[in-house]
Structure 1
Amino acid sequence: MTPGPLPAGTRLPHIGPHEAGTTSVQGALFAAKDAMAAHGVRFPAHSRHPVEAALAVCGRPGTTGDARPAERHRRRLVDAVHATGDRTSPISGEFFADAPDDATVARIVDEPGRDRAHVLVTLRPPAKIMPSQRQQYVQDGLRMGYEDRLDRMPRPPVPPGSDRFTGRLRGNSCVYSVTGCRGA
Structure 2
Amino acid sequence: MPAVSPTLKTTASSELLTVAAGCFWGVEHMYRKHFADKGLVDAKVGYSGGNTEDPSYRKVCSGTTGHAEALQVSFEPAKVSYEQLVDFFFKIHDPTQANGQGPDIGSQYRSAIFTHSSEQQKIAEGVKQKLQDTWFKDPIATDIEPIQNWWDAEDYHQEYLFKEPGGYQCPTHFYRNTPQK
State the TM-score, normalized to the length of structure 1. Answer: 0.29
More helix by share: 1
Work out which of the two has the higher radius of gyration on C-alpha atoms and give 1 or 2. Answer: 1
State the TM-score, normalized to the length of structure 2. Answer: 0.29
